[in-house]
Structure formats: structure tokens, C-alpha cells
Structure 1
Amino acid sequence: MTSFLARRPRLGRQRDWLVGVVLLIVVVTLVESTLGWSVVLAPWATLPPWVLAAAFLLTAASYLLRAIRVRVYFQTELAGRFPALLRLSVLHNSANNLLPMRAGEVLFPWLMRRYFGHGFWAAGASLIWIRLLDLHFLGVIGLLVLWTRAPSPWWGLLILGWLGLLPLFWLAGRVQRQAGAEGGEGRWRRLLGVVAAAAPRERGQVLRLYRWTALSWSLKFVAFALILGHFVPAALWQLLLGVMGAELSTVLPFHGIAGSGSFELATVAALVPLGVAPAQALAGAVNLHLFLLGTTLVLGAGALLIPIRGQRGG
């Protein structure tokens, strides 16, 4: 296993890149044949500079908050190394946005090992818990948006019930650690032990992690809604659900190069049932995706300029 961890991560198989290229070609062709790229891109000329600047800064701030969340997750293990952690977090998110089939997730455990000497599989297991926190808060956002659409006390009760699931994070961690400590043979038993060891250990830690998760996602949703609202004439609740669809595209079984295809499909699928015209939904999805890619490239390039000292891994 040591020789495996010493290698660079495999950022996607040939099949994944092939599927990604096909999806990219399909999106480019579909936009040109249905709307025309000149028509789709024209509204950028009237986008107020302050909207673009605000959306970019909010997105950048969300990346910063994600790095803080990782710092909270690993607590004292990463003390005094925040610049390297920020670089890791931004590069990880950039890889997720650019590489096909979620191959960018591999970068997190690999960079955790390279920068901090953390175990590859342990870091990967920690990422599972972080993603579960992400999905939980996305559920909160969805319920809040539906509440604004059709105000009712029942939505408040549903939100409270959903938040009531948070104790499962630290309780599940304790149960899994106990099960992992019992030992036993078999790959699944060992895997359970790795996941258990990586789980958040205390209630206070989970709540702090959730706070940073909530802040990060809130900033990102506001930023994306600002951009999408310029291209799609829709109510705020429709825009937020459209952004929700775009974000949930990350859990689809297929994910093109730079999210091409899956991002647009999920955004359109979220907006059209809400009453947005398909052509407007497609144009909005494409332009929101272009904003995401532009922000990703700028922040990713900036992350490469962050100096790293005391690198511990191989």
C-alpha cells in the first residue's frame, strides 16, 4: 500500500475522459443549434460589474470557509499550516469542478498526505463525513426555499425535524468506532474501522463543522443566484432551486469534463418544472456554468501561488 500512496493520484480513467469529451461536444453543439452561442453570451455585456465582483468575492469567501471547516475537522493536526490548507482546499474544489466523473475527490486525500503526512485512506474517509454534512445542509436550503414559496408552519417543523438528524453524526461515529474497535477480519470490517476512526468525535465539533458548512454554502448560493438572476427572469425562490439543481449535479453517476452536460442538465431540470422557459433555463445554466469555470480557474491559479513550508508527505 505504501508504494500505491507514493504515486500521484489517478485523476480519471480513459473511459471517464472519453465520456467527458462526448458530453462537452454535445453541450456545445446543442447550445449552438438551439439558441446560438452569440445569443447566449450577449447578456454578459449588460452584467453590472458590481454584480460580477460581488459574486466572485462571495464564491472566493466560500472557498476560504471550506478551508476553515477542514481545519476544524482535523483540529490540532493542522495547527499553524493554514496557508497550505487553504491551497489544498482551493485546489481540491477546483479539481472537482474541472475533472470528469468526480475524479477530483482523489486530490483531497492525496494532498492531505503530501502536505501534512496524513493517512490517504483516513483523509478519504473524513471526506465522506464532510460530504454528508454538505448534503444535510443542502436539504435545509431546499426546505427554506420551499417555505418562502408557500409559507406554512409545517415547513418550520420539517426543518426542525431535519436538523434533529444532526446528532446522528456524532452518535454514528461513536457506534462505528466501537464496531471498528471490536476487530475482525474482512475488507468491509477494515473499511468500517477506517471510516469510524475518521468520524467527528464530539457534539461540539459537529456543530462547529455544521456552522462553517452553512456559512460556506449560503455564500455560494447567494453568489450563484446573483449571476443566474441576470440571465433568467425568475423569482428568487426559482433561482435558488435552480442553483440547487446545479449543485446536486455533482452527485449524478455521470459528470463531464468541467461538469459539462451534467451541470446544464440538472439546472434545466430544476428550472423548467418551476415555470421557466426551456430556452431561458438552458441559457442561464450555460452562463452560470461559465461563471463557475472562470472563478475556478482564477482561484485555482491563485492557490498555486500560495507558498508551502514544511511539506511532510512524499
Structure 2
Amino acid sequence: MFPSWMPRLGRSRDWLVGMVLLALVVVWVETTLGGSAVLAPWATLPLSILVGAFLLTATSYLLRAVRVRVYFAELLAGRRDFLLVLRLSVLHNTANNLLPMRAGEMVFPWLMRRYFGYGLLAAGASLGWIRVLDLHFLGVIGLVVLWMRIPSPWWGLLVVGWLGLLPLFWRVGRLRSKVAGDGVGRLRRLLGFIAAAAPQAPGTVLWLYGLTALSWSLKFVGFALILGHFVPVALWQLMLGVMGAELSTVLPFHGIAGSGSFELATVAAMVPLGVAPAEALAGAVNLHLFLLGTTLLLGFTALMLPVPNRAKQGH
């Protein structure tokens, strides 16, 4: 279906499910709220909030590219190709936001091989560890939001305990020599391969985690600014709404451009907090429109970044 140099961008079944979700969300919005009523608040959105939220989101994308550069510092040592890394990272995030059922994740290992000659499986395993870092920090945000809702020093202790899991990252990386070797079973070779992809130096893990924390924090603030205009509720409710939206983009259940899954996850996160379903749905749809607009603008900008000839010759 695709040329040999192209990644497989999802199965037919994934696209079918994605189209069904897209159709359902359009019907859901139109029958529940009406399209014009949902979009009307954009007319009163202050330009400062829109531009500020966009800049925060764009900066989070930039920090994700820095994280990739740090993660693959050994591979990229001596190369001054940060713009290429930025292009790779932004296009990967663009594909992730637009393609169904996590098919966009395939773009990362494909571009790593095409631009830098890195193995597909090794890049995929590294991306898996990056996602673990993402999910770990989302757990931190969840604990902080709960502290905002029910202030207590116990939440601080839980955050410290949760952060105390970070040393496991570099310890896993050091397991390679213990689980890999000649003549061992297939499972042990697989575990050794996965362990080898993990960051192994404590300083590297902390640097990567700091970039992860800053990137997610900026994005959450930017999204909360937009969502707060459409759903005037407390900050902790907005943050949990954004949390639901973001989890929909990290977990496997994902429609075309996030349609359906994004709205459902946002509404599911906010309604139990006392937000009216209609308000939550309107906020979710408009936040999603902001995400898609930002994604397309940054994605087209990334395509304008130069690709060195040696990278174009990659496989």
C-alpha cells in the first residue's frame, strides 16, 4: 500500500474506526449544542490569551525536540542538526495528533532511520521510554491537582514518593549486561534490548525529566487558558479536564485527529467534578479546535525546515 520508504500509517480498520468516531462527535455536538453556539465564544476570546496559549504550546514542542536531542546525544554527537531534530519531533507530534489509533507513533522511528540512520526497533524502544517519562510526569500533575482540590501535606509526600521512582530508569538501563548475552532465551534478549534503550546515566535521566516536566507544564497552562475561556470553572477543574484530553492522546484509543476520543475523555474528566455536560462538551470541542489549529500551523512550519542532503539519502 505504501512505498518501502514510507511508514505504515495505520490499518484500514483503524481509519474506519476513526471515521466512525469523527462522525459520531459531529452528530453529538450538533444535536446537543449546535455548531454555531459552540463556536460563538471565539468572538470574545482575547487575542492575548490566544497568542499566549499558542506560544506556550509551541515552546513545549521546542522542548520536546531538545529532549530528543538529549536522549540521542551519543548518536548526534558532533552534529549540528538541531533544526533537523526539531523537524523530526514536530512532525512526529503532528502525526500523533492527526492519525488514528497511535499510527502517528510510527513516524518517529521512521524519521530516526531516514534522517540519522538509526534502527527502527531501537528508536521504537527509546520512544517507549520517552512515553514512560511522559506518563510519570502526568502522574505528578494529577497529584498536584488533587492537592489543589483538597489541600493537605500528604499530597506533597506522595509527590516525593512518586519522584523517588526515577532512579529505576537508570537502574533498568544497567540491567542490559544481566539479561542479555550469548545463548540466552528470546525473552531475555528482548528484555536486554529494551533495557539498552533506556537512558543509563542519572544526570541524563534528570535532564530528560526536567525537559519533560517543563514541556508538559507549559502545554497544560496554555490549554487551561483556552479551556477556561469556554468553561468558567476553578483552575483544578480545568487542569483535570486538560489531563483527560491529554490522556486521550497518549493512550491507544484515538480517533482521526483525536475526534471523539479527545472530547469523550475531556467530558469524562470534567463532568464528575460538577461541570455541566453541555459546558464540558463545548469546552472540549473548542480546545480540540485550538489543538488542531496549532498542530497544523506548527506541522507546516516544520516542513519548511531544511533537510541536509545526507539526511535525505537515509533509508
TM-score (norm 2): 0.95
The number of aligned residues is 310
Other-structure match for 2:260: 261
**Does structure 2 conserve the Cα–Cα contact (< 8 Å) formed by 1:126 and 1:199?**
yes
**C-alpha contact (below 8 Å) 2:170/2:201 kept by paired residues:** yes
Residue 87 of structure 2 aligns to a residue in which SS?
helix
Tell me how far 1:5 sits from its aligned partner.
11
Q: Please give the alpha-carbon distance, in whole angstroms, between the structure 2 residues aligned to 1:213 and 1:253.
A: 20
CA RMSD of aligned residues (A): 1.5
Shift of 1:42: 0.3
The 5 Å alignment of 1:275-286 reads 275-286=274-285
Q: What corresponds to 2:303 in structure 1?
A: 304
Alpha-carbon deviations, 1:38-77, whole Å to 9, x = none? 0000000000011100011110000000000011101132
Partner deviation per Cα, 1:239-262 (whole Å, 9 max, x = no partner): 001000111112444211001111
Task: Name the counterpart of 1:225.
Answer: 224
Report the Cα distance in structure 2 between the residues aligned to 1:37 and 1:182, rounded to whole angstroms. 62
> In structure 2, what residue type is equivalent to 1:158?
L
Deviation at 1:145, TM superposition (A): 1.1
Provide the residue aligned with 1:313 in structure 2.
Answer: 314
Q: Secondary structure at the match of 1:151?
A: coil
Offset of residue 306 of structure 1: 0.1
Structure 2 counterpart SS, 1:9: coil
Offset of residue 151 of structure 1: 1.1
* 1:197 shift after superposition: 1.7
Q: Which ranges in structure 2 are unaligned for 5 or more consecutive residues?
A: none
Using the TM superposition, give the Cα deviation of residue 172 of structure 1 relative to its aligned residue in structure 2, in angstroms. Answer: 1.4
Q: Give the match's secondary structure for 2:74.
A: helix
CA distance in 2, matches of 1:5, 1:31: 38
Q: Identical aligned pairs, as a percentage?
A: 74
Structure 1 CA distance for aligned equivalents of residues 143 and 176 of structure 2: 30
2:176, 2:193 within 8 Å by CA — same for their partners in 1? no
User: Greater helix percent: which structure?
Assistant: 1
User: Does 72-81 or 56-65 show the bigger shift?
Assistant: 72-81
1:69, 1:209 within 8 Å by CA — same for their partners in 2?
Answer: yes
Could you tell me how far 1:196 is from its partner in structure 2?
A: 1.7
| Alignment partner, residue 36 of structure 1 | 34
Q: Output the CA distance in 1 between the equivalents of 2:18 and 2:3.
A: 26
2:170 touches 2:198 (CA, 8 Å); kept in 1? yes
Indicate the larger mover: 239-248 or 252-261. 252-261
Question: Equivalent residue for 2:166?
Answer: 166
SS at match of 1:76: coil
Whole-Å separation in 1 of the counterparts to 2:92 and 2:84: 12
Match of 1:198 in 2: 197
Report the Cα offset of residue 141 of structure 1. 0.6
Equivalence for 1:76: 74
1:243 maps to a residue whose letter is: V
Task: Provide structure 1 residue ranges, at least 5 long, that are not aligned to the other structure.
Answer: none
Contact map agreement 1:246 1:264 (CA 8 A) in 2 = yes
- 1:251/1:69 CA distance change after superposition, 3 Å: closer
How far, CA to CA, are the matches of 2:140 and 2:159 in structure 1?
6
In 1: Cα distance, 2:273 partner to 2:181 partner? 49
Runs of 4+ in 1 over 4 A off after TM superposition: none
| Aligned: 1:85 with 2:85 | yes
- Aligned partners of 2:176 and 2:192 also within 8 Å: yes
